[in-house]
Structure 1
Amino acid sequence: MNQNTYDRWDLSILYSGFDDPALKADIDDMARAIEEGKQLAALAGSIPHKDLLHRYIDNNERVSTLADKLFIFANLRYATDTSDMEATAMTGKLQAMLSETAAPDTVLKQAISRMEDLDELIESDAALKDYAFFLREIREESKYLLSENEEKVFALMNISGASAWEDLHDTLTSTVNVKYRGEDITLSAVRNLAYDGDPAVRKDAYEAELACYPQIEQPAAFALNSIKLQVLNECRLRGFASPLDQALFNSRMSRKTLDALISAMNDYMPKFREYLKAKGRALGHADGLPWCDMFAPLGSLDRKYTVEEAKAYLLNIFGSFDTELHDMVKRAFEENWIDFFPRKGKVGGAFDCGVPSAKQSRVLTNFDGAFGDIVTLAHELGHAFHDRQVFSHSIIQQDYSMPVAETASTFNEVLVVSEAIDRAETREEKLALIESQLSDACQIICDIYSRYLFETSVFEARDEEFLSPERMCELMHNAQLASYGDGITEATLHPYMWLCKGHYYSGSLSFYNFPYAFGGLLARGLYALYKKQGAEFVPLYKALLHATSVNNVEDTAAMAGIDLTDKAFWCEGLNSLADEIDMFVSLIEN
């Protein structure tokens, strides 16, 4: 392993390559485990309930451990090179293998859901009690299961359905040529120029970005139409009232909580428009902020950071919060957990991927040296810290839902930027830091609200019509206008946000938007607790993260004394942002 290269991540903790004998051995082992699961399903009606539960858990853990390791390797290889045909082939092979588990898993889950003595068995068996949430959730999920054969058919069809359309979108956006000032660059590279200090660079980059989308808008529209129709049809078959209801169920979150969150966000939209217009004035625009200047730096943070400087910056901040977080981040840099730089074929954006088999994580970014890239690293390493807290659960109890998935990541952002603001020595530095924090907040409030409105409108329209690229752009424009209002110059709104954001292109995760607002505002609430309690807060925070994979979101938040169904809680977080907006406007005007 090469240390301190600060370039590409090290995947040798998984396999040395697709020709690694260990990889073939794991595939063979997974095939045997899948066959054993089928045999168990065939005997489900004749095995004593307690024995069936233990054998189901054991088999599930074995399949999950192997599938996780294999899928993670293929997916991480593909993420850094979407032309990697070995990765694509391996993903297809694994999907086909796992599709064989759909029917027997349905049989076993239905058998478990019919156990009238399930609660009694859980309470009387110490080993089963450790899996109480997992087993009771199976009982709830069984309400939406199809028949054994239907689940098998759906799993098979999904390989060439939504999953394939999602891969197509990744390939389109990672390989499209963007003509910028006479050169061909990647989409992620041109989008990174939105953070450049030169207004001419930002404007040219935005125009170049918009000009590239017509090359791929038709296949992307086909992909999005197909995915959304598949989701609609699946919801009807399973008995969900809507894709949103399915998303809430999968999020372990109540509609009452979502309604409180969305209502609070809507109430504060005018305040965020004040911020956008003030930023516009600071940049010399009288009629709102042009989209291309949304991420324009203000103040004195227009410098570029090296990876080494980003590492030092983060360690300095995290060291004052918690030794465990500090040490994990240090390892991430020094043991090549992170794939840093944009390159052709690499997917855009950033993500974290937990690697349970190694109790580590891998982080992908498209690092360009801006302060926002440091915040992005903090965000993704927050996910990695969350991963670390749930690794002590069994493999089948490590999955946390979408809303809480953004809590630790956004807490890291708030921690980094808030402490940096407190340490700021000059007006220009303070302005830059506050603006950076508000820019990020605007994304998780205004942008997320527009995405929520857009996805709602797409699902409503897709039931009646095939949505052309022009129609997609129209719905995107309407959603952005409803969210940003006069804060953004209307003529400059981004009509192709539906194309560049991969979150829309998932058949299994609809409405991957409100969780960002949820996580952001919950994180601010937790940060307020940290400021009140100091070091005493840290063990509570870790316990809360640990609980996220074995609780619904309301019960998890209750551990910190938070009622998520109360709109007032969400308004508290938004009000703290409103105070920062007032501070920002004051700095701009003075």
Structure 2
Amino acid sequence: MNQEWSLDVLYHGYEDPKFDEDMKKFESEVAGMKEKIEAAKKLDPVKGLETCLMVKEEMAALGSRLGEFISLKASVNTSDSKTNDMGARYDRIAANQTAANVAFCKYVASIENLDQVIAQSSLLTEYNYYLTEIKKDAAHMLSDDMEDLIAHMDITGGGAWGKLFDYLTSTLKVDYEGEVITLPAVRNLATSEDKEVRKKAYEAELASYDKIADSIAFALNNIKGQVSMLSEKKGYESPLAMTLEQCRMKKETLDAMFTAMREYLPKFWEYLKAKAKYLGYEGGLPWYEMFAPVGKMDSNYTAETARDTLVENFSHFSKELSDMMARAFAESWIDFYPHEGKVGGAFCANVTTEKQSRILTNFNGSFDSVVTLAHELGHAFHNKQIFENRILNQDYSMPVAETASTFNETHFMLSAYKKSNDPQEKLAILENLLSGTTQIICDIYSRFLFEDAVFHKCEAQFLMTNDLKEIMLDAQKQAYGDGLDQTKLHPYMWTCKGHYYSSGLSYYNFPYAFGGLFAMGLYTQFLNEGDSFVPKYNALLKATATCSVEDTAKMAGIDLTKPDFWRSSLQTFANLIDEYVALIG
């Protein structure tokens, strides 16, 4: 079994004649795209919209094929000059689509009887949600020239600052115990069995950020400044309001979720203090002990044993899902191990035209690494469902993006927990589940507070490294309370989370809390309904690209705008915390 992913289904490298052919075709088609849109606008509305959609489908297929290949190549070797050159070329070409896309959106918005036009065509009916959302969003569009200018300026503006962040963090050299290691490698030591290793790794990690923190502070200020300026120019109340529009999510839903989360924060602090006591600390837990092992699992996974475990486990939930997992391992969808130049963390990316996914992890053989694989394979299963939609109907919003992945985590860990008869193993599994849940409740809340504060503060001042450290520490104190030792937090958490560094995607934090709590609610339904739940679950995942967040949840009978649903999911975790405390004794 290969330990690196294969991209051969796309291209056999940059020297592949097909790559050069497609890049030239992409450039040519983009150059003529606006002319095709303008010509279609002269037809009757039904035929005009159909023609435009066919043009956009063709461009989406070609652009995704090239863009996904370059992006995936970059993620495993951020310093590769060829990839950086190709990425810059692709970005310049892709930015030239803006004028045509703006023209299309304004054309859609100009059709007064859009509902009646859509009803006359099966193609338009499939794109009903897509088209009606475009008409709604058109109110926030600027002039054609301005939108085109913004897209081009972003290449050397916010987009470039984001790439700088990726480069700095992926090439950062960490001095650890006389060796030089990568940032992902030192962060992986947080799960070491050795207490001194965990502490020294934390100290080495914090010390390493001094080399890049000022540069990253410039990146963060400029990205957030750009987003704030554009949200104002486009008529949004705030960057958060713009994000919620992008998420197809109501502010009432976000408020309901945070209301419930704040109510239950003390329960998660109780978990952290119980863990601190177990590890021999008085009061709150030091930051560097958050991922310390608790309990005992006699398992050190290889890629092969991780595969066998996952395929077997998920065969009890869905044969379709377990078969897809087996295929992911067999067909080299996964890039497993950390190395210099490879980005940290983990992600799952679409390979749209081939109806596949690619998964990057920094696998270290731990149970947590297998949980991460389960999580990312959940994204791949979500992709599998939306690939049944037409290509322009395959984009789902941030909050629902974490649904299938977190559902997988929940299923994997709870089924392992119930199966085990060993108290130490049960404790270890429960620790893993609660540790992860604490991340999506406490840590995600701290990240939201941090980003929200940065958006507000950077309007009036440039936030230097010390300013950002202070904002982060304040956010962590609010979110973690007395659950953590407030003298041993992580002031540099803003330097290692790529979610902050996108000019097109802000507040990529609360969707993780949404995903975790929504997934727990869905998992509870699965436990109650059994096999009959699975087709409903698949349909719900498919619909995430063609429904609002709230309408998607209604398919499962859930009202997201009231705190009650969120409280019920949080109570399930609270019950598990009680079990954890009892197991620790």
Give the TM bin, normalised by the shorter chain.
over 0.9
- How far apart are residue 401 of structure 1 and its match? 0.2
The amino acid across from 2:490 in the alignment is H
CA distance in 1, matches of 2:299, 2:288: 19
**TM-superposition CA deviations, 1:357-387 (whole Å, max 9, x none):** 1111000000001111010000000000000
Gaps of 5+ in 2: none
Q: Which runs of 4+ in 1 moved over 3 A?
A: 41-45
Cα distance in 1 for partners of 2:541, 2:151 equals: 31
SS at match of 1:178: strand
8 Å CA contact 2:40–2:51 kept in 1: the answer is: no
1:524 maps to amino acid: M
Output one character per residue of 1:147-189: Cα deviation in whole Å (capped at 9) or x when no partner. 0000110000000011111110001001011011110000000
Taking the TM superposition and a 5 Å limit, the aligned residue runs for 1:385-396 are 385-396=381-392
Match of 2:481 in 1: 485
Q: Which runs of 5+ in 1 are unaligned?
A: none
Instruction: Give the alignment of 1:14-163 within 5 angstroms.
Output: 14-43=10-39, 45-163=41-159
Does residue 389 of structure 2 align to residue 405 of structure 1?
no
Deviation at 1:302, TM superposition (A): 6.2
| Counterpart AA for 1:356 | T
The equivalent position to 1:261 in structure 2, one of 257, 261, 269, is: 257
Q: Could you list the per-position Cα deviations for residues 16-63 of structure 1 after superposition, in whole angstroms to 9, with x for gaps in the alignment?
A: 011111111212222232233211243365332112101110111111
* Alignment deviations for residues 556-575 of structure 1 (CA, whole Å, 9 cap, x no partner): 11001000111000000000
**Among 237, 241, 259, the residue aligned to 1:241:** 237
Task: Give the superposition deviation at 1:482.
Answer: 0.2
- Bigger Cα displacement from structure 2, 83-92 vs 417-426: 83-92
Identity of aligned residues (%): 47
Cα-to-partner distance string for 1:296-320 (whole Å, 9 max, x where unaligned): 1111126421111111111121011
Q: Is the 8 A contact 2:256 2:562 kept in 1?
A: yes
For residue 572 of structure 2, what is the aligned residue in structure 1? 576
CA distance in 2, matches of 1:424, 1:565: 37
Q: In the alignment, which residue of structure 1 is the partner of 2:553? A: 557
1:421-478 CA-to-partner distances (Å, cap 9, x unmatched) read: 0001111011111111000000000000000000010001000000000000000000
Indicate the SS of the match to 1:491.
coil
Query: How far apart are residue 112 of structure 1 and its match?
Result: 1.1
| Number of residue pairs matched by the alignment | 585
Alignment of 1:70-469 (within 5 A): 70-301=66-297, 303-469=299-465
**Which AA in structure 2 matches 1:18?**
Y
Q: Deviations over 1:372-426 (max 9, x none)?
A: 1010000000000000000011111100000000000000000000000000111
Q: Name the SS for the 2:358 alignment partner.
A: strand
Q: Distance in 1 between matches of 2:273 and 2:353?
A: 49
Is the 1:174–1:187 contact (alpha carbons within 8 Å) kept by the matching residues of 2? yes
| Distance in 2, Cα, partners of 1:79 & 1:181 | 28
Paired AA for residue 72 in structure 2 = L
Structure-1 separation of matches of 2:308 and 2:96: 48
* 1:484-523 matched pairs, under 5 angstroms: 484-523=480-519
Does the CA contact (< 8 Å) of 1:44 and 1:111 recur in 2? Answer: no
1:534 to 2:527 alignment: no
TM-score by length of 2: 0.99
Q: What is the TM-score of this pair, normalised by structure 1?
A: 0.98
Q: Distance in 1 between matches of 2:47 and 2:87?
A: 33
CA distance in 2: counterparts of 1:465 and 1:303, whole angstroms: 50
2: distance between equivalents of 1:455 and 1:134?
Answer: 29
Q: Is the 8 A contact 1:33 1:59 kept in 2?
A: no
CA RMSD of aligned residues (A): 0.9
Label 1:208 to 1:302 Cα distance change in 2 as closer, same or farther (>3 A).
farther
